Structure 1
Amino acid sequence: MQDKRLMTVNELADYLAVKPAWIYNNHRALGIPSRKVGGSLRFRLSEVDRWLDRECPVAA
């Protein structure tokens, strides 16, 4: 079963090991899958993982 949990900007920043400001500044330009819930950005872990696999391939 896929993880349907929604993460906050801070949780995603921790997951990606970046600062929350990086998420805010780059989520649209990089196409990080997101949604607005009550005016706040949220990210589904399974969608972010798919995005990472597609957009950030493993270095050789």
Structure 2
Amino acid sequence: MRFMDLKETAEYLNVSASWLYKNARHSGLAIYRFGPGVNSKIRFEVSEIEAWVKQQRVNS
């Protein structure tokens, strides 16, 4: 498994880091936390992000 941090994921999705932090779960993105308490690091699994992007496709 490969992970991206919040900033990398936001850049990949072309959204702000604050939008991603606030809306990730609501949008269906899984958040992984590494470390204890408020100092934990937020990460996103690369293959899950790629699958989520494919699900966002709009058929016309």
Gapped regions of structure 2 (runs ≥ 5): none
TM-score, normalised to structure 2, is: 0.79
Q: How many residue pairs are counted as aligned between the two chains? A: 56
Kindly report structure 1 stretches of 4+ aligned residues shifted beyond 3 Å: none
Residues 33 and 51 of structure 1 are in contact (CA less than 8 Å); yes or no, is this contact kept in structure 2?
no
Structure 1 unaligned segments of length 5 or more: list them: none
Tell me the TM-score normalized by structure 1.
0.79
Percent of pairs with identical residues = 34
Greater Rg by CA = 2
Does the alignment pair 1:57 with 2:49?
no
